[in-house]
């Protein structure tokens, strides 16, 4: 993916990826939906709590597995991260959990690029993202 890297593209991918930190964009979106959609408030709340819980599960797994982020000679990451732990990708977990729990079809189209942004930026292995997407999809089912 790095052959597609330009400074402008990297900047936009970093900005987009930053929205997914700690599941922030998904938790904020679900919280706003719960506030404005009174008839489905309980459903939105349950789904949002599920997304937050999926982040906690992902973080817990990282602490057990302790896989280090990619460190490839001559190919430094395109952004800094808060930890050196890589597996699974919490961006992928929370994005796919949100897509399933919220039940909004368009969110699947946002979850995939959010997850792939982590590989593009060089902060996750593809297997981190695949495992995160699978885990998030399963966990998101608890929020339905």
For 46-88, write each residue's pLDDT tens digit: 999 999 999 999 999 999 999 998 887 767 766 677 888 889 9
**Comparing 15 with 30, which gets the higher pLDDT?**
30
Instruction: Show me where the domains of the chain are located.
Output: 2-143
Decide which of 2.60.40.1930, 1.10.645.10, 1.20.144.10, 1.10.10.10 is the CATH code for 2-143.
Answer: 1.20.144.10
pTM (global) more than 0.85: yes
Give the H/E segment covering residue 75.
none
- pLDDT at residue 98, rounded to an integer: 97
CB count within 10 Å of CB 33 equals: 18
Which residues fall within 8 angstroms of residue 88, CB to CB, at 6 or more apart?
A: 58, 61, 62, 128, 129, 131, 132, 135
Give the H/E segment covering residue 32.
helix 24-36
- pLDDT at residue 81, rounded to an integer: 78
């Amino acid at each position: 993916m790095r052959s597609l890297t330009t400074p402008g593209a990297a900047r936009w991918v970093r900005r987009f990826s930053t929205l997914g930190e700690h599941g922030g964009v998904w938790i904020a979106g679900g919280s706003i939906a719960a506030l404005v959609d009174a008839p489905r408030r309980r459903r939105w709340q349950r789904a949002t709590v599920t997304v937050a819980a999926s982040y906690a599960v992902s973080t817990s797994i990282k602490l057990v597995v302790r896989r280090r982020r990619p460190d490839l000679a001559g190919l430094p990451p395109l952004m800094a991260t808060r930890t050196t732990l890589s597996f699974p990708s919490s961006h992928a977990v929370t994005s796919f959990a949100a897509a399933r729990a919220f039940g909004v079809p368009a969110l699947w189209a946002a979850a995939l690029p959010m997850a792939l942004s982590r590989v593009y930026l060089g902060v996750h292995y593809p297997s981190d993202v695949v495992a995160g997407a699978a885990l998030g999809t399963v966990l998101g089912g608890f929020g339905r």
